[in-house]
Structure 1
């Protein structure tokens, strides 16, 4: 069955980046000349999805506005003959994907946020993309497109995973896999643990914020009990999925990632994206040399 829809939860308050995110959604923080969320939406569009559903919050109206047409600004740029900027602006609102949004009434975790999209998903398979995790790929949308293509052949739930240090693993959903049964970069998931303590970590792989599910995930979410913070975790729903002997595939990330919901991750992304930017990369590299030891 074709996977057409993507759920992107953006209702989080960005507490790790306060006070910068007090009045500005973390998804709208800039990387060179684009907000983080634009890179995410471009990735989804390039991967071949047709419909994007934001799970949002009342404070995030600027995210939706960013992908709308700005008639006044476009008119001003046209009158001032700023053709390059005008084309960039038009490209945002003309991305080949339909965008809608649903409010998450309560901040009750990622599982709860995904469940808000149940009615609009309407018994179809769908992807989930977490906007904190920015991917640098050899081809934009490559990993998500690969997962999409595989699901459309085998209908198996899939998770994108990446390697990171043991120190960092405690911040994420750690994924244990059976390594030698499928392909070099495709594994069978054995176990997933949300933010384990260092002593309990048995894998160097974590979920990097790209998933594809059958609509059966909603039945698992409905069975999840809130954790000690009162949140419904998506990881716990995937655990139930595995417990029912439903297969889950792990695709290893081809590329690199930046966790832009974290201060150091966001700063690393700024540096890397600036260095690879065609218009400023050379000058920025020269600037950075001043700080070499």
Structure 2
């Protein structure tokens, strides 16, 4: 029987440079997708998948993240005094239970691998998930839930992958696979290969389940691309000792750390809302008609 995945690390210490100037004053993880911060969706995915405790890694000027996941007593009282119990109840639903979230600070911007390593003492000696907060992954079954079900059957390490256009592969971390009697396994990992050299068009899309041995590798790892401690480099080293299994996610993924992905995510989530979909769809149709008229 494989050890259950109970904890998740969510690295949220980045500067959000692709979303400047908005992120000068608002953490990129709190930028709203319709009426909820991006990070709220990521935390909700973790708990909906069966995670019991989330560790959010923050940095300087990210105190608003801790405030968001706290109980807003004053707002709750004001709403209920005004008779807005439905809104107050909805806010309460997005407040995690006491003790279900911890916060640690990445005191130096040393990369994703270092951010994951900073949470090692809370995770301890057990498998854990990693969810990148930029990547909003939408499907009927949460991506992490499918990965945790796969882990229940096989154990080991799991990485979510998706397919991109081959000519776009140089923009991503790419995996190559090998067929085995135990199903497909990751045979290689390369971060942003030179154009035309990618071993496949399967890219790592922002969800991981990892075994605790990776912490020792991260602790002693030399800086890689960009002078940072790269999680991919530690996974390459781990691959020599443990299996890494792919999970191909077939839902929709939005890179909310980029303006185009952020806008697309807002449109997608708004169109799926019963209270907003018709209005937003009408505005899209009006804009399209206006562009056709000009053309």
Of residues 5, 25, 42 in structure 2, which corresponds to 1:40?
Answer: 42
Matched with 1:57 is 59
**Alpha-carbon distance between aligned partners in 2 of 1:215 and 1:37, rounded to the nearest angstrom:** 24
**Alpha-carbon distance between aligned partners in 2 of 1:152 and 1:97, rounded to the nearest angstrom:** 25
1:256 matches 2:252: yes
Matched with 1:274 is 270
Task: Give TM-score scaled by structure 1 length.
Answer: 0.93
| Unaligned 5+ runs, structure 1 | none
Q: What is the alpha-carbon root mean square deviation over aligned residues?
A: 1.7
Counterpart of 1:226 in 2: which secondary structure?
A: coil
**Alpha-carbon distance between aligned partners in 2 of 1:53 and 1:119, rounded to the nearest angstrom:** 11
| Unaligned 5+ runs, structure 2 | none
Tell me, yes or no, if the aligned pair for 2:54 and 2:100 is still in contact at 8 Å: yes
Counterpart of 2:110 in 1: which secondary structure?
A: coil
Aligned residues: 287
Matched with 2:175 is 175
**Alpha-carbon distance between aligned partners in 2 of 1:167 and 1:39, rounded to the nearest angstrom:** 30
Task: Give TM-score scaled by structure 2 length.
Answer: 0.92
The answer to which of 195-204 and 261-270 deviates more is 195-204
Matched with 1:226 is 223
Tell me, yes or no, if the aligned pair for 1:3 and 1:126 is still in contact at 8 Å: yes
1:136 matches 2:135: no
1:283 matches 2:279: yes
**Alpha-carbon distance between aligned partners in 2 of 1:88 and 1:275, rounded to the nearest angstrom:** 20
Tell me, yes or no, if the aligned pair for 2:167 and 2:196 is still in contact at 8 Å: no
Matched with 1:100 is 102
For residue 10 of structure 1, report the CA deviation from its aligned partner: 0.2
The answer to which of 201-210 and 45-54 deviates more is 201-210
Q: How does 1:1-293 map to 2 (within 5 A)?
A: 1-94=3-96, 98-139=100-141, 141=142, 143-178=143-178, 187-227=184-224, 229-242=226-239, 244-292=240-288, 293=292
